[in-house]
């Protein structure tokens, strides 16, 4: 019996090869093992709303008014945030605004 790779999306073991790609019947995800790993490595880079890569220590600007959960604080559009820190999640950055440590989603930030 042929040993096919697990589905990268649902980790299902019922994958099969249809001639060009591997298919997971559980979640209907189609993938190729070589390109799937390459795409995931590229996606692991934190990017701002325009697709510019972010790094530790970058300065960013908030592009939309954001309400802070569990607080009455609102981060206004145009607020400049200095010295961001990347997290394990490429969609989030850690920063300080008005002395409070806050995690912001990168889709609401613009580099510069």
For 17, the enclosing helix (H) or strand (E) is strand 16-17
- pLDDT tens profile 22-81: 899 988 888 886 644 455 555 678 999 999 999 999 999 999 999 998 889 999 999 999
Q: Which domain holds residue 33?
A: 1-43
Residues 37 and 65 in one domain: no
Could you give the C-alpha distances from 53 to 11, 20, 69, 97, 105, in angstroms and in order? Answer: 29, 32, 26, 21, 14
Is pTM beyond 0.85? Reply is no
Residues 104 and 66 in one domain: yes
Would 28 be classed as within a structural domain?
A: yes
- pLDDT tens profile 74-88: 999 999 999 999 999
**Among residues 60, 91, 64, 59, which one has the least CA distance to residue 75?**
64
Would 55 be classed as within a structural domain?
A: no
């Amino acid at each position: 019996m042929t040993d096919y790779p697990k589905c990268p999306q649902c980790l299902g073991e019922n994958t099969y090869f249809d001639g060009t790609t591997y298919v997971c019947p559980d979640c209907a995800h189609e993938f190729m093992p070589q390109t799937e790993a390459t795409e995931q490595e590229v996606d692991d880079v934190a990017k701002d709303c325009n697709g510019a890569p972010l790094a530790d220590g970058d300065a960013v600007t908030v592009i939309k008014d954001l309400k802070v959960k569990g607080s009455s604080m609102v981060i206004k559009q145009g607020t400049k945030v200095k010295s961001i820190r990347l997290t394990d999640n490429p969609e989030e950055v850690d920063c300080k605004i008005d002395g409070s440590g806050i995690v912001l989603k990168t889709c609401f930030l613009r580099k510069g």
